[in-house]
Amino acid sequence: MKTITVNIVTPDGPVYDSEVSMVIAVTSTGEMGILPGHIPTVAPLGIGAVRLKKENSTELVAVNGGFLEIRPEKVTILAQSAERATDIDLSRAQESAKRAEALLQANKDEIDFKRAELALKRAMNRINVYEGNI
Amino acid sequence: MASLRDIKNRITSTKKTSQITRAMQMVSASKLSRAEVNAKAFVPYMHKIQDVVASIAAGSSDTSNPMMVARPVKKTAYLVITSDRGLVGGYNSNILRTVMSRIRERHTSNDDFVILSVGRKGKEFFTKQGMTILESAIALPDHPTFADIKEITRKAVGMFSDGTYDEVYMYYNHFVSAIQQEVTEKKVLPLTDIQPTGSTASYEFDPSAEAILEVLLPQYAESLIFGAVLDGKASEHAASMTAMKSATDNASDLINGLTLQYNRARQAAITQEITEIVGGASALE
């Protein structure tokens, strides 16, 4: 089976580096599935889960922002932050989700509201990835 | 001449000081090695983002993204990276001196520029000079992660986009080696000097090159700043290590001198005592 190399790097260091058979990522225009031999592409990423399909298993990585660079034999994901499902601290994610919700309730001004919304999104994404329900 | 006890006290206190400085030297040495690891972890990210930015910038010639266009400069921002604490030798004073001389060269009035400060020392210094500090980040951890400095990088890039200032220069100590750091000036924004690299793979852009640059360029500028902070932290620990090492060396020099002085004084006291005894004994005869 043909495989493609996936690299996920963040400013704090590389997070993931392995051969997979398919990558599914959420870009700003929608979900995108990448198989080996894909045409060179660059696309911005949203907050979401990247699914890395191997022969008979799927791994999930929570990514936040950044973009995706595809070459026929290699996919590089440059994210501001990224965590593998096994590295996610569930209690911390739940806490930040709660904090963000409280901020949303308070709803002081527009900028704070947007930031709280994003924080909530990130936290929910991490929780979902941890629990594997994507 | 100082009494025996005075000298002894000085020796003891110098010894204690040197114990502290030696401990601080060792702490800085271990922090330095971690900081170097962190700086290395950042390198792949930086290279990749540089590559992609360069190939997009090379691919689409009519880049009208505001972050890449130099506009008439009404206000300049100086992002200065210093440390939070002292005891780091010339680390802070070197940077601040360079920044001050640059500012004096370029500007006549304090209204023409603003300061963005990372580190308490820089903030204190520029406040004393009566300059405007728009943003500051203090009490950063010794090994900052991207999340720690996101706030200030986001604001630094945001205020450029909304026109608060028209160019951003960054000053930090570049880590050359454990005993050498050099003050570096870097123009962060606008991004006018992106060199196309060798690998000009022609990409498809989804949805469009412009939309991608909009996401990519702020991220690129922010990572430039983050890289400088990491570099600065490594330099800070190196500078602190060197400063503490020379403090320890000086202390042991001082102790040697004092010990010599102490022994001489002790000898003199003994000689004097003997002379007195001999004198007393001969007076009795």
Residue B227 has pLDDT above 70, yes or no: yes
Q: Which of B49, B72, B71 is nearest to B213 (CA)?
A: B49
Helix ranges (H only) for B60-200 are 91-106, 120-128, 146-161
Q: Are residues B115 and B18 in the same domain?
A: no
Q: Are residues B219 and B84 in the same domain?
A: yes
Domain count, chain A: 2
- Which structural domain, as residue segments, surrounds residue A109? 90-131
Residues of B with CB under 8 A from a CB of A: 38, 41-42, 44-45, 48-49, 52, 56, 145-147, 150, 201-207, 211-212, 215-216, 219, 223, 226
Q: Are residues B50 and B134 in the same domain?
A: yes
pTM of the model: 0.82
Helix H or strand E encompassing A67? strand A67-71
What CATH number is attached to the domain comprising B256?
Answer: 1.10.287.80
Q: Are A42 and A74 in contact (CB under 8 A)?
A: no
- Which structural domain, as residue segments, surrounds residue B41? 25-242
Query: How far apart (Å, rounded) are the C-alpha atoms in residues A15 and A66?
Result: 14
B14-18: average pLDDT: 95
> Chains A, B: CB contacts under 8 A, how many?
77
Residue of A7, A12, A73 best to disrupt the B interface, most CBs of B under 10 A:
A12
Q: Supply the pLDDT for residue A134.
A: 63
Query: How far apart (Å, rounded) are the C-alpha atoms in residues B149 and B137?
Result: 8
DSSP state of A45: B
Q: Are residues A26 and A59 in the same domain?
A: yes
Q: Are residues B133 and B238 in the same domain?
A: yes
Point out the residue among A41, A44, A69 whose CB comes nearest to the CB of B211. A44
Query: B36-83: per-residue pLDDT in tens?
Result: 888 888 888 888 888 878 777 766 655 567 777 788 888 899 999 999
Query: B76-105: per-residue pLDDT in tens?
Result: 999 999 998 888 888 899 999 999 999 998
Q: Are residues A24 and A69 in the same domain?
A: yes
Domain count, chain B: 2
Q: Which of A68, A78, A61 is nearest to A33 (CA)?
A: A68
- The chain-wide mean pLDDT, for chain A, equals 83
Q: Are residues A79 and A23 in the same domain?
A: yes
Residue B199 has pLDDT above 60, yes or no: no
Q: Are residues B177 and B230 in the same domain?
A: yes
Find how far residue B262's CA is from the centre of its chain. 41
Angle A124-B143-B114 (CA atoms, 0-180°, nearest 5)? 90
What CATH number is attached to the domain comprising A123?
Answer: 1.20.5.440
